[in-house]
Amino acid sequence: MTPRATELLQNAQLVQKRITDACTQCGRDVQSVKLIWVSKTMPLSDIDDAIQAGACNFGENKVQECLEKFSQARAGVSLHVIGPVQSNKWRKAAQVGQWIHSVDSLEALRKYEAVCAELNKTLNVLFQINTSGEVTKSGLSMDNAHSFFADLPAFPRLHYRGLMTIGIHTGVPEDSRTGFNWLRNLRDQLHARGGAFANFTELSMGMTDDLEIAVQEGATMVRVGTAIFGRRVYAA
């Protein structure tokens, strides 16, 4: 194992302990929470090192980075497209990803279905809800979410798996609890409908700073980058 792989493994173990402790506090099975390693802005070499360290679920925000790092399939590795996808990138996102966390329109679903039909593949879909009300965040508004799902058609190659949100950005993790709780309730309502929502069990919520709150509120996927890979350096 390379020195970087060892570093990533140690960091991931610390994150996993946080998840385990949060599960213990609220009586959940730790196996019900999946850790997504968010590798956005990190070099390709970090992907290889992370796989050495045991990572099997990666999250990327930008489709271009998805293509650069994951266009060549790796056995046992799933790519989660977690950032908003522009309409001109829907095709590429469907081609490279196994999971899309940020769906918020019927138009996107139709495009993903068409691409999956061409490629003879299926795609796991999560719908993003803006539970913070912050204009900088993507997703369906809380006010519009129920009407959106009321008449949502099923698609043969798209598996509706659950919901995603980003906690409110106040610097206080507890402030995200209300939004996380609301998302869980919506997930439960939709799951109870059955049909296209029969496997609607996932809640993608919680990141480095607020993952404990997310786990307490039912997260099944937490998206962690900084606590594993370190601080990102963005281009000026």
Structure confidence at residue 75 (pLDDT): 87
Structure confidence at residue 77 (pLDDT): 96
Instruction: Tell me the three-class secondary structure of the chain, residue by residue.
Output: CCHHHHHHHHHHHHHHHHHHHHHHHHCCCHHHCEEEEECCCCCHHHHHHHHHCCCCEEEECCHHHHHHHHCCCCCCCEEEECCCCCHHHHHHHHHHCCEEEEECCHHHHHHHHHHHHHHCCCEEEEEEEECCCCCCCCCEEHHHHHHHHHCCCCCCCEEEEEEECCCCCCCCHHHHHHHHHHHHHHHHHHHHHCHHHCCCCEEECCCCCCHHHHHHCCCCEEEECHHHHCCCCCCC
Share of the chain above pLDDT 70, in %: 98
Structure confidence at residue 83 (pLDDT): 97
Structure confidence at residue 231 (pLDDT): 87
Domains and CATH numbers, the chain: 3-229 (3.20.20.10)
Structure confidence at residue 233 (pLDDT): 66
pLDDT by position in tens, the chain (length 236): 999 999 999 999 999 999 999 999 999 999 999 999 999 999 999 999 999 999 999 999 999 999 999 998 888 999 999 999 999 999 999 999 999 999 999 999 999 999 999 999 999 999 999 999 998 899 999 999 999 999 899 999 999 999 999 999 899 999 999 999 999 999 999 999 999 999 999 999 999 999 999 999 999 999 999 999 998 766 54
Model pTM?
0.96
Structure confidence at residue 90 (pLDDT): 98
